[in-house]
């Protein structure tokens, strides 16, 4: 249940509602928003008597939340969440953000040169994995801490914001110290201990959809992050498993309009893992843009054939340039701007 306060309600009136929720044995969770003050009641097994709140001064209305998740739902917060990465905005009606970079952090020289080439195109956010979740234990597992240090250097030398995957709870602090955005990979979407820990840090999170996760499971995973106090969450569709064998995964673009309809969180698309072949990445990036996504995350390299992981889906720098040109056209279309 959600208690919505009147626009002119006082701090004292808001505090009294919070105290009442606690007194009743529930947990109040404030919902941040520019247009209204609202407090979500959580921890209740059944219906709470709404009259208790309707009688209190400063309360405008009490809204029943019908979805299993609350904080991520538009029922609780109607306006789009815009995640701010030190001035770079993701979400709402702004231009989609393109995040690009190699699958893995490689040696310092290569990583810096890929980052510089992307920066020269106008890219503002760089991706590369230091901790790699690999299907085979014999495959390259990432450079770990050394990789994080290289990423920090990329940030210092180029000013690019950095996103990297965090795989384990014990690495949350060290990863957060080195980069600007933390990625939860598809295999960890329901690692609830990891989500709980990330909910308490002050850095944006990109939450990839589990490869077999339903929409409800995905949004509930995001709910863990918001419930713990981290509201800077970006959802990322990266392809799911289906019976189709012709591409690595099936990029589920169906989910884009659905998520935009029921959640206020920004949603980006990873066409690289979604389709798995470099020559198909740009068409799927275009399709995602036409669906009104808030951003793309793309695996790119100056010498894709020499990339240490995911070569087959890693595009050359020219393809990123082409996608940036596509954005200028597609995201300006009124039909796209008016989605949701």
**CB 208, min distance to ligand PEP, A:** 5
Q: Is 263 in the site for ligand PEP (CB under 6 A)?
A: no
**CB 165, min distance to ligand PEP, A:** 6
**In terms of Cα–Cα distance, which of 255, 208, 264, 229 is closest to 72?**
264
**CB 24, min distance to ligand PEP, A:** 41
Interface characters, 66-85, with Mn ion (x: CB under 5 A): --------------------
Q: Is 185 in the site for ligand PEP (CB under 6 A)?
A: yes
Query: Of 117 and 166, which has the nearer Cβ to ligand PEP?
Result: 166
Q: How far apart are CA 117 and CA 20, in angstroms?
A: 56
# residues contacting Mn ion (CB under 5 A): 2
238 binds, among Mn ion, ligand PEP, none (CB under 5 to 8 A by kind): ligand PEP
# residues contacting ligand PEP (CB under 6 A): 9
**CB 133, min distance to ligand PEP, A:** 6
* Residues between 297 and 336 with contacts to Mn ion, criterion CB under 5 A: 310
As to burial, measured by CB atoms within 10 angstroms (0-12 exposed, 13-18 middle, 19+ buried), residue 64 is exposed
Contacts of 123 (CB under 8 A, 6+ apart): 98, 99, 100, 160, 320, 324
Q: Residue 115 CA to chain centroid, in angstroms?
A: 21
Q: Is 294 in the site for ligand PEP (CB under 6 A)?
A: no
Q: Is 103 in the site for Mn ion (CB under 5 A)?
A: yes
Q: How far apart are CA 160 and CA 150, in angstroms?
A: 13
* Residues between 226 and 255 with contacts to ligand PEP, criterion CB under 6 A: 238
Closest chain position to ligand PEP (CB): 185
Query: Of 73 and 313, which has the nearer Cβ to ligand PEP?
Result: 313
**CB 211, min distance to ligand PEP, A:** 7
Q: How far apart are CA 160 and CA 180, in angstroms?
A: 10
Query: Of 253 and 339, which has the nearer Cβ to ligand PEP?
Result: 253
Query: Of 232 and 249, which has the nearer Cβ to Mn ion?
Result: 249
Q: Is 278 in the site for ligand PEP (CB under 6 A)?
A: no
Q: Is 295 in the site for ligand PEP (CB under 6 A)?
A: no
* Residues between 125 and 184 with contacts to ligand PEP, criterion CB under 6 A: 129, 133
Query: Of 122 and 133, which has the nearer Cβ to ligand PEP?
Result: 133
Q: Is 106 in the site for Mn ion (CB under 5 A)?
A: no
Q: Is 273 in the site for ligand PEP (CB under 6 A)?
A: yes
Q: Is 186 in the site for ligand PEP (CB under 6 A)?
A: yes
Q: How far apart are CA 327 and CA 294, in angstroms?
A: 11
Interface with ligand PEP (CB under 6 A): 103, 129, 133, 185-186, 208, 238, 270, 273
Interface with Mn ion (CB under 5 A): 103, 310
């Amino acid at each position: 249940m959600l208690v919505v306060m009147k626009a002119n309600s006082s701090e004292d009136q808001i505090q009294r509602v919070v105290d009442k929720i606690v007194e009743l044995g529930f947990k109040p969770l404030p919902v941040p928003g520019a247009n209204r003050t609202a407090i979500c009641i959580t921890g209740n097994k059944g219906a709470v008597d709404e009259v208790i709140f309707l009688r209190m001064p400063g309360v405008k209305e009490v809204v029943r939340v019908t979805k299993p998740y609350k904080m991520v739902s538009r029922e609780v917060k109607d306006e789009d969440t815009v995640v701010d990465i030190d001035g770079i905005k993701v979400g709402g009606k702004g231009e989609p953000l393109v995040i690009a970079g190699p699958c893995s952090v490689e040696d310092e020289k290569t990583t810096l040169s890929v980052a510089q080439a992307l920066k020269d195109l106008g890219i503002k956010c760089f991706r590369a994995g230091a901790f790699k979740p690999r299907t085979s234990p014999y495959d390259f597992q990432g450079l770990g801490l050394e990789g994080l240090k290289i990423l920090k250097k990329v940030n210092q030398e180029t000013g690019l914001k950095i996103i990297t995957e965090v795989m384990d709870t014990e690495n949350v602090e060290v990863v957060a110290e080195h980069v600007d955005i933390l990625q939860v990979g598809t295999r960890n979407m329901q690692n609830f201990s990891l989500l709980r820990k990330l909910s308490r840090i002050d850095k944006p999170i990109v939450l990839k959809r589990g490869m077999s996760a339903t929409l409800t499971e995905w949004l509930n995973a995001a709910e863990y992050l918001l419930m713990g106090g981290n509201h800077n969450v970006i959802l990322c569709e990266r392809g799911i498993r289906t019976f189709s064998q012709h591409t690595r995964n099936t990029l589920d673009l169906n989910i884009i309009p659905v998520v935009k309809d029921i959640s206020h969180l920004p949603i980006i698309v990873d066409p690289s893992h979604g389709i798995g072949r470099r020559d198909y990445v740009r068409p799927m990036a275009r399709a995602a843009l036409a669906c009104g996504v808030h951003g793309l995350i793309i695996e790119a390299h100056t010498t894709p054939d020499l990339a240490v992981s995911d070569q087959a889906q890693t595009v050359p720098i020219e393809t990123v340039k082409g996608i940036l040109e596509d954005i200028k056209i597609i995201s300006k279309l009124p039909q796209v701007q008016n989605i949701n």
